[in-house]
Amino acid sequence: MREGFFSEAVKNKAFSTAGVQKGKIAADIGAGTGFITEGLIRNGLKVIAVDQSEAMLAEMRRKFARVEGIDYCLGKAEKLPIPDEAVDYTFANMYLHHVKLPLKAIKEMVRILKPGGKLVITDMDEHTFEFLREEHHDRWMGFNREEIRQWFGEAGLKNVIVDCAGESCCTQSCCGGEYASISIFMASGEK
Ligand SMILES: C[S@@+](CC[C@H](N)C(=O)[O-])C[C@H]1O[C@@H](n2cnc3c(N)ncnc32)[C@H](O)[C@@H]1O
Protein backbone atom coordinates (compact mmCIF):
# COMPACT_ATOMS: atom_id res chain seq x y z
CA MET A 1 0.00 0.00 0.00
CA ARG A 2 2.82 2.37 1.00
CA GLU A 3 4.63 1.87 -2.31
CA GLY A 4 1.73 3.25 -4.29
CA PHE A 5 1.23 6.11 -1.85
CA PHE A 6 4.63 7.86 -1.91
CA SER A 7 8.14 7.14 -3.12
CA GLU A 8 11.42 6.16 -1.47
CA ALA A 9 12.82 9.60 -2.32
CA VAL A 10 10.91 11.09 0.64
CA LYS A 11 12.98 9.28 3.21
CA ASN A 12 16.29 9.95 1.50
CA LYS A 13 15.51 13.67 1.48
CA ALA A 14 14.55 13.51 5.16
CA PHE A 15 17.83 11.75 6.00
CA SER A 16 19.96 14.24 4.10
CA THR A 17 18.12 17.17 5.73
CA ALA A 18 18.82 15.71 9.17
CA GLY A 19 22.41 14.90 8.17
CA VAL A 20 22.16 11.38 9.59
CA GLN A 21 25.40 9.85 10.78
CA LYS A 22 26.31 6.22 11.24
CA GLY A 23 26.31 5.04 14.87
CA LYS A 24 23.75 7.61 16.07
CA ILE A 25 20.31 6.85 17.54
CA ALA A 26 17.07 7.81 15.81
CA ALA A 27 13.41 7.53 16.75
CA ASP A 28 10.86 6.60 14.08
CA ILE A 29 7.51 7.78 15.42
CA GLY A 30 4.37 6.24 13.92
CA ALA A 31 6.75 3.73 12.39
CA GLY A 32 4.07 1.61 10.71
CA THR A 33 5.74 -1.25 8.87
CA GLY A 34 9.14 0.41 9.03
CA PHE A 35 9.54 2.53 5.90
CA ILE A 36 11.79 5.06 7.71
CA THR A 37 13.34 2.51 10.08
CA GLU A 38 14.55 0.37 7.19
CA GLY A 39 16.44 3.31 5.67
CA LEU A 40 17.95 4.35 8.99
CA ILE A 41 19.26 0.83 9.63
CA ARG A 42 20.73 0.79 6.14
CA ASN A 43 22.54 4.03 7.03
CA GLY A 44 24.08 2.40 10.12
CA LEU A 45 21.90 4.00 12.82
CA LYS A 46 20.16 2.40 15.79
CA VAL A 47 16.41 2.90 15.80
CA ILE A 48 13.66 3.17 18.39
CA ALA A 49 10.48 2.45 16.45
CA VAL A 50 7.26 3.60 18.12
CA ASP A 51 3.72 2.85 17.04
CA GLN A 52 0.34 2.66 18.79
CA SER A 53 -0.53 -0.50 16.88
CA GLU A 54 0.61 -3.93 18.09
CA ALA A 55 -0.19 -5.30 14.64
CA MET A 56 2.14 -2.81 12.91
CA LEU A 57 4.95 -3.58 15.36
CA ALA A 58 4.39 -7.32 14.87
CA GLU A 59 4.68 -6.86 11.11
CA MET A 60 7.91 -4.90 11.59
CA ARG A 61 9.34 -7.58 13.85
CA ARG A 62 8.55 -10.19 11.21
CA LYS A 63 10.02 -8.08 8.42
CA PHE A 64 13.23 -7.22 10.28
CA ALA A 65 13.63 -10.54 12.14
CA ARG A 66 17.27 -10.84 11.10
CA VAL A 67 18.14 -7.19 11.60
CA GLU A 68 19.83 -5.90 14.76
CA GLY A 69 19.61 -2.42 16.20
CA ILE A 70 15.85 -1.89 16.36
CA ASP A 71 13.90 -1.36 19.59
CA TYR A 72 10.16 -1.88 19.07
CA CYS A 73 8.00 0.20 21.39
CA LEU A 74 4.26 0.33 21.74
CA GLY A 75 3.30 3.92 22.51
CA LYS A 76 1.13 6.90 21.75
CA ALA A 77 1.75 10.38 20.45
CA GLU A 78 0.89 12.15 23.73
CA LYS A 79 3.35 10.15 25.84
CA LEU A 80 6.15 8.54 23.89
CA PRO A 81 7.81 5.60 25.67
CA ILE A 82 11.28 7.17 25.38
CA PRO A 83 13.15 9.16 28.08
CA ASP A 84 14.06 12.85 27.71
CA GLU A 85 17.06 13.70 25.50
CA ALA A 86 17.62 10.11 24.38
CA VAL A 87 17.93 10.35 20.59
CA ASP A 88 19.95 12.26 18.00
CA TYR A 89 17.15 12.41 15.44
CA THR A 90 13.39 12.03 15.41
CA PHE A 91 11.57 11.21 12.17
CA ALA A 92 7.83 11.04 11.59
CA ASN A 93 6.61 10.26 8.09
CA MET A 94 2.87 10.45 7.32
CA TYR A 95 2.09 10.26 11.02
CA LEU A 96 1.13 13.76 12.16
CA HIS A 97 -2.16 13.84 10.22
CA HIS A 98 -3.33 10.87 12.31
CA VAL A 99 -2.77 12.36 15.76
CA LYS A 100 -5.41 14.18 17.79
CA LEU A 101 -3.16 17.00 19.03
CA PRO A 102 -0.36 17.77 16.56
CA LEU A 103 1.37 20.46 18.67
CA LYS A 104 1.47 18.14 21.69
CA ALA A 105 2.83 15.37 19.47
CA ILE A 106 5.55 17.70 18.15
CA LYS A 107 6.52 18.73 21.70
CA GLU A 108 6.84 15.06 22.66
CA MET A 109 9.09 14.42 19.66
CA VAL A 110 11.25 17.38 20.74
CA ARG A 111 11.36 16.20 24.37
CA ILE A 112 13.12 12.97 23.40
CA LEU A 113 15.79 14.77 21.32
CA LYS A 114 19.25 15.42 22.73
CA PRO A 115 20.32 19.08 22.65
CA GLY A 116 21.42 19.71 19.06
CA GLY A 117 19.24 16.82 17.85
CA LYS A 118 17.08 17.18 14.73
CA LEU A 119 13.39 16.64 14.14
CA VAL A 120 12.22 15.96 10.58
CA ILE A 121 8.54 15.57 9.80
CA THR A 122 7.24 14.72 6.35
CA ASP A 123 3.51 14.91 5.79
CA MET A 124 0.79 16.18 3.49
CA ASP A 125 0.08 19.79 2.65
CA GLU A 126 -3.49 21.03 3.21
CA HIS A 127 -5.95 19.29 0.88
CA THR A 128 -9.65 18.75 0.28
CA PHE A 129 -9.87 14.99 -0.23
CA GLU A 130 -12.54 14.02 2.32
CA PHE A 131 -12.39 10.33 1.38
CA LEU A 132 -9.02 10.08 3.16
CA ARG A 133 -10.76 10.64 6.51
CA GLU A 134 -12.96 7.62 6.05
CA GLU A 135 -10.80 5.29 4.04
CA HIS A 136 -7.41 6.06 5.66
CA HIS A 137 -8.64 7.20 9.10
CA ASP A 138 -6.94 10.57 8.66
CA ARG A 139 -7.82 13.13 11.35
CA TRP A 140 -6.28 16.15 9.58
CA MET A 141 -6.72 17.17 5.97
CA GLY A 142 -3.00 17.89 5.73
CA PHE A 143 -1.34 20.95 7.28
CA ASN A 144 -0.66 24.56 6.54
CA ARG A 145 3.12 25.04 6.34
CA GLU A 146 3.04 28.33 8.25
CA GLU A 147 1.21 26.64 11.12
CA ILE A 148 3.78 23.85 11.18
CA ARG A 149 6.55 26.48 11.30
CA GLN A 150 4.83 28.12 14.29
CA TRP A 151 4.38 24.81 16.09
CA PHE A 152 8.07 23.96 15.62
CA GLY A 153 8.94 27.35 17.11
CA GLU A 154 6.54 26.85 20.03
CA ALA A 155 8.11 23.46 20.66
CA GLY A 156 11.46 25.23 21.12
CA LEU A 157 13.19 24.29 17.87
CA LYS A 158 15.61 26.60 16.08
CA ASN A 159 16.77 26.73 12.44
CA VAL A 160 13.27 25.71 11.40
CA ILE A 161 12.71 25.09 7.69
CA VAL A 162 9.38 24.04 6.20
CA ASP A 163 9.61 23.38 2.52
CA CYS A 164 8.36 21.23 -0.32
CA ALA A 165 9.69 17.68 -0.14
CA GLY A 166 9.49 17.59 -3.93
CA GLU A 167 7.21 14.57 -3.84
CA SER A 168 3.50 13.90 -3.83
CA CYS A 169 1.35 11.39 -2.10
CA CYS A 170 -1.07 9.70 -4.47
CA THR A 171 -4.01 7.40 -3.91
CA GLN A 172 -7.35 6.49 -5.39
CA SER A 173 -10.59 6.25 -3.44
CA CYS A 174 -11.90 2.70 -3.30
CA CYS A 175 -15.45 3.98 -3.77
CA GLY A 176 -16.17 6.42 -6.54
CA GLY A 177 -12.75 6.50 -8.14
CA GLU A 178 -11.72 9.97 -6.89
CA TYR A 179 -7.94 10.36 -7.25
CA ALA A 180 -5.87 12.34 -4.75
CA SER A 181 -2.43 13.75 -5.52
CA ILE A 182 -1.19 15.82 -2.58
CA SER A 183 2.15 17.57 -2.25
CA ILE A 184 4.34 16.58 0.68
CA PHE A 185 6.10 19.10 2.93
CA MET A 186 9.26 18.52 4.91
CA ALA A 187 9.67 20.35 8.20
CA SER A 188 12.96 20.29 10.06
CA GLY A 189 14.32 21.93 13.17
CA GLU A 190 17.13 21.65 15.70
CA LYS A 191 16.77 21.43 19.48
C1 LIG B 1 0.20 6.27 7.55
S2 LIG B 1 1.05 5.27 8.71
C3 LIG B 1 2.74 5.77 8.36
C4 LIG B 1 3.70 4.66 8.68
C5 LIG B 1 5.16 4.95 8.38
N6 LIG B 1 5.68 6.09 9.11
C7 LIG B 1 5.43 5.10 6.89
O8 LIG B 1 5.98 6.11 6.51
O9 LIG B 1 5.11 4.18 6.13
C10 LIG B 1 0.74 6.04 10.30
C11 LIG B 1 1.19 5.20 11.47
O12 LIG B 1 1.07 6.01 12.67
C13 LIG B 1 0.52 5.21 13.71
N14 LIG B 1 -0.21 6.13 14.59
C15 LIG B 1 -1.33 6.84 14.29
N16 LIG B 1 -1.71 7.60 15.33
C17 LIG B 1 -0.81 7.37 16.32
C18 LIG B 1 -0.67 7.85 17.65
N19 LIG B 1 -1.54 8.72 18.16
N20 LIG B 1 0.37 7.41 18.38
C21 LIG B 1 1.26 6.51 17.86
N22 LIG B 1 1.18 6.02 16.60
C23 LIG B 1 0.16 6.44 15.85
C24 LIG B 1 -0.39 4.22 12.99
O25 LIG B 1 -0.60 3.04 13.77
C26 LIG B 1 0.37 3.95 11.70
O27 LIG B 1 1.22 2.84 11.81
CA distance 140 to 41: 30
CA distance 36 to 27: 10
| Residue predicted with more confidence, 128 or 158 | 158
- Report which protein residue has its CA nearest ligand 1's atom 8: 93
CA distance 147 to 64: 36
Q: How confident is the model at residue 6 (pLDDT cuts 50, 70, 90)?
A: low
Tell me the best of 8, 47, 52 to mutate to test the pocket of ligand 1, counting ligand atoms within 8 Å of each CB and taking the most. Answer: 52
The mean per-residue pLDDT over the stretch 58-74 comes to: 97
2 lines ligand 1 (CB under 6 A): yes
SS3 labels along 19-87 = CCCCCCEEEEECCCCCHHHHHHHHCCCEEEEEECCHHHHHHHHHHCCCCCCEEEEECECCECCCCCCCE
Query: If you measure from the C-alpha of residue 136 to the centroid of ligand 1, how many angstroms do you get, rounded to a whole number?
Result: 11
pTM for this one?
0.94
- Report which protein residue has its CA nearest ligand 1's atom 9: 35
Q: Using a pLDDT cut of 70, give the percent of the chain over it.
A: 97
Query: If you measure from the C-alpha of residue 30 to the centroid of ligand 1, how many angstroms do you get, rounded to a whole number?
Result: 3
Q: How confident is the model at residue 4 (pLDDT cuts 50, 70, 90)?
A: low
pLDDT of residue 76: 97
Q: Is 60 left (phi over 0), alpha (psi -120 to 50) or beta?
A: alpha
CA distance 74 to 53: 7
96-120 pLDDT per residue, tens = 999 999 999 999 999 999 999 999 9
60 lines ligand 1 (CB under 6 A): no
160-172 pLDDT per residue, tens = 999 999 888 877 8
Average pLDDT, the chain: 93
32 lines ligand 1 (CB under 6 A): yes
H or E element, residue 92:
strand 87-93
Q: 129, 91 in Cβ contact below 8 A?
A: no
Q: Which amino acid is at 38?
A: E
The mean per-residue pLDDT over the stretch 2-7 comes to: 64
Ligand 1 atom with the shortest distance to the CA of 105: 19
pLDDT of residue 179: 82
Q: 5, 167 in Cβ contact below 8 A?
A: no
